[in-house]
Amino acid sequence: MSTEWDERTEAPVVEATGFAQAALPEVGTRQLTRLTHPDDPRLTIDTLLLRRDHPDLVVVLHGALVRKDVTLPRFEWLRTLRERPESLLFVSDPSLQVDEAIPLAWYIGPQEHDVTARLADEVTAMAGRLGARRTVFTGSSGGGYASIALAAHTPGSLAVPFSPQTRVSRYERMPVKIFRTRLFPEHPDMDSVEAAHRDRVDLTHRWAAGPDQPDAWVRLVHNSGDPGHLEDHVRPFLSAAGVDPDDLEGHPRFSLVFDDFADGHSPPRPTQMRDQLDAALAWHDAVR
């Protein structure tokens, strides 16, 4: 284990093989923890923990990046959420370190390494060490996809995705092509990727109604100005989960609310994200 200082996040840096081995910061402070990978240094997971004396752990995921404008690691929504009372864990997608051409990888990882499963295990370890009683995953767009995927691996958790994708192959052609060719190069198309890795790249399959449906909650917050993602991603996800997209009132595990972010596929404004996160936690308190 080694330590240094990161000027960008104004936090000490701890390097460890996992959260079970890493030192934790004191309550009221922050720490950047690099979770190294034994086989490939490009798959190191960079995280930033803002530790609070609170029973909730909120895990924050990022969406697509314009790579020439962003230096990794990326801790999206830090300014928006940093004053919240919960412990906050911001996570940068290690999949993007595999190739600088990749703008979005949904925290899926390359074909030989399931980043989602590994990250879920690490979050569970962190929640245990913090004594957290609830784990919440949140993010917008691709980060929303990751929040739903991680909740599927984390029984009892809550996902609060903002206008998420729910099936990689239904997203824009170019980012999906780059994702496939850089991270799943043995597959000639997304049909082939889905055939081999369906649980990783298709949440409508992972959350399908039936005995294997994850034991978790999903509070979808969708931009009312984004009908495309509603039809291509949100409604198919809910239908596959056995939920009527037009009648979720009182459903014990799924909720869909709308807010006006902006026209098109746009993220929430800071106040909207904070307010909707508060509303999601209140909903979860009422139904769990």
Taking the whole predicted model, whether its pTM rises above 0.85 is answered as: yes
Tokens representing 161 are 């995705």
Give, for all 288 residues of the chain, the pLDDT tens digit.
456 999 999 999 999 999 999 999 999 999 999 999 988 888 999 999 999 999 999 999 999 999 999 999 999 999 999 999 999 999 999 999 999 999 999 999 999 999 999 999 999 999 999 999 999 999 999 999 999 999 999 999 999 999 999 999 999 999 999 999 999 999 999 999 999 999 999 999 999 999 999 999 999 999 999 999 999 999 999 999 999 999 887 789 999 999 999 999 999 999 999 999 999 999 999 999
Q: Taking the alpha carbons of 239, 244, 245, 250 in that order, is the dihedral positive or negative?
A: negative
Tokens representing 3 are 């330590």
> 3-state SS string over the chain?
CEEEEECCCCEEEEEECCCCCCCCCCCCCEEEEEECCCCCHHHCEEEEEECCCCCEEEEEECCCCCHHHCCCCCCCCHHHHCCCCCEEEEECCHHHHHCCCCCCCCCCCCCCCCHHHHHHHHHHHHHHHHCCCEEEEEEECHHHHHHHHHHHCCCCCEEEEECCCCEHHHCCHHHHHHHHHHHCCCCCCHHHHHHHHHHHHEHHHHCCCCCCCCCCEEEEEEECCCHHHHHHHHHHHHHHCCCCCCCCCCCCCEEEEEECCCCCCCCCCHHHHHHHHHHHHHHHHHHC
CA distance 115 to 33: 16
Choose among 123, 149, 134: nearest CA to 207: 149
- Map out the domains of the chain with their CATH numbers: 2-287 (3.40.50.1820)
**pLDDT tens, residue by residue, 257-285:** 999 999 999 999 999 999 999 999 999 99
Amino acid, res. 122: E
